[in-house]
Chains A and B, each alone.
Chain A
Amino acid sequence: QKEVEQDPGPLSVPEGAIVSLNCTYSNSAFQYFMWYRQYSRKGPELLMYTYSSGNKEDGRFTAQVDKSSKYISLFIRDSQPSDSATYLCAMKMDSNYQLIWGAGTKLIIKP
């Protein structure tokens, strides 16, 4: 079993829809949770960063962390074709620099 599980998709939704992306994890020591967006042939771009449990909102993006369920989510409201990309979750422990990555979910927003 991988430490971080993420459905690779692809996930295809119409423009304007609310998108829900998720990751589950097994290591309860993870404290820091990140979502990155990666366009084809580009480096990942940090979208959201959350410490411990709770919600965080930034524009059309909302990140949620439920440590009791070991489950994190990224919601995208009013999705746009420009949101089409691969979304990777990553997490780390307090005592370790290393990021543990999900497989990435390919998202396609249809005009």
Chain B
Amino acid sequence: GAVVSQHPSRVICKSGTSVKIECRSLDFQATTMFWYRQFPKQSLMLMATSNEGSKATYEQGVEKDKFLINHASLTLSTLTVTSAHPEDSSFYICSVQGLAGEVGVSGNEQFFGPGTRLTVL
């Protein structure tokens, strides 16, 4: 499977500031990455699909101007929460699409990063 890292693991910021979260695929080049958010005791909610070299595809109800996604290289996608407010406090997790042909990987699985906990005061 893929090894995915996220940075930072935890961030606390003041209301109105912007926060950038990085997602890195460490052991293969990922053309497709996904960004999720997860509220306490709830399942994952897909926010957007990040495609290398093109604009991200956002899910219905997700504000693209508030959650800026940049997938500038095959190993790095960033999510910027602009003008963050307390209601944006959540657990943000990225994933990468498995690369078909790797041992034990079909290309249909997603491998997740450790997550970033955002707290907006």
B44 at the A interface (CB under 8 A) = yes
Assess whether B43 is in contact with A88, with CB atoms less than 8 Å apart: yes
Dominant secondary structure of chain B at its interface with chain A: strand
Q: Is the CB of A44 within 8 A of B93?
A: yes
Does B32 lie within 8 Å of A97, measured CB to CB? yes
A85-100, CB < 8 A from B: 88, 92, 97-99
Q: Kindly state whether residue B75 has any CB partner on chain A within 8 Å.
A: no
Check B91–A41 contact: CB distance below 8 A: yes
CB distance from B5 to the nearest CB of A (A): 10
A101 to B46, CA, bound (A): 10
Binding site for A on B (CB under 8 A): 1, 4, 6, 32, 41-44, 46, 49, 91, 93, 95, 97, 106, 108-115, 117
Cross-chain pairs A/B with CB under 8 angstroms, 22 sampled: A32-B108, A32-B109, A41-B91, A41-B115, A43-B6, A43-B95, A43-B112, A43-B114, A44-B93, A46-B110, A46-B111, A49-B106, A49-B109, A51-B106, A88-B44, A92-B108, A97-B49, A98-B46, A99-B110, A102-B43, A103-B42, A104-B43
- Please name 13 further chain A to chain B contacts, defined as beta carbons within 8 Å, in addition to the given A32-B109, A34-B109, sorted by A numbering: A8-B41, A32-B106, A32-B108, A41-B115, A43-B114, A44-B44, A44-B93, A44-B112, A45-B112, A46-B110, A49-B109, A88-B44, A102-B43
